[in-house]
Structure 1
Amino acid sequence: MKTAQSHQKSYTDKQRRELEFVVGDHIFVKITPIKGVMRFGKKDKLNPRFIGAFEVLERIGTSAYRVALPAMLSGVYNVFHFSMLLKYMSNLSHVLNYEPLLLNPNISYEERPTQILDWQERRFRNKVIHMSKSSG
């Protein structure tokens, strides 16, 4: 039994990471993609796993941090557990711009195409489905 526990412990230790951030550090915040909901500009598989870089405002307790989020993310609670954060390594070539989004209360938004590139009709036995390819 003892060897089995030791074996399992060796697996968990590889996955653990002790992170500590200082006030003023920049970090990425992990977001959870929701299937079928448009969040932060992408949908489903292409949904980003981390967004940021945001500044750490304050450490709360031993494992949580308050983060400075932009006004467009005012509907998101700004305290995160350290397991949801990733340290940002600064690089002078990084340009961090945020496009203003109109977020719904459930942190989703409606994507509106700017241009229709192509369209086609799919005919089935009982119905016709119009499909369009757009940019935006």
Structure 2
Amino acid sequence: MQKLTPRFIGPYQILKPDSNVAYQIALPPSLSNLHSVFHVSQLCNYIFDPSHVIESNKVQIKENLTFETLPLRIEDQKTKELRGKTISLVKVVWGGVTGESAMWEVQSQMRDSYPELFLSGKFRG
């Protein structure tokens, strides 16, 4: 299973404004499959801090513009009523080169894909 996480990579130099709300960015060759013009909502103002930079050669972006993350652990469990059905959810912490992020996932799908996460007995449900 692959996830996109709302993390930034860079910083990259702005080459020129494309319009009032878009900028062309100088991307490295490893990101040549991306369009180089980005809307301002996808950019952030960068204040230099070496700990913020993710080396772009560590992030392997695939043709479908995703990168792989793996589930590290399950932090929580809950049930949700949706259209008359009860759905069991688990809060999964995903990890990769960009750090950790947590997302609620359908428990049965996670159990099928990653049964080892449920071996501890804490989240057997």
- What interval of TM-score do these two structures reach, taking the shorter chain for normalisation? 0.3 to 0.5
Q: What is the TM-score normalised by the length of structure 2? A: 0.44
Q: What is the TM-score normalised by the length of structure 1? A: 0.42
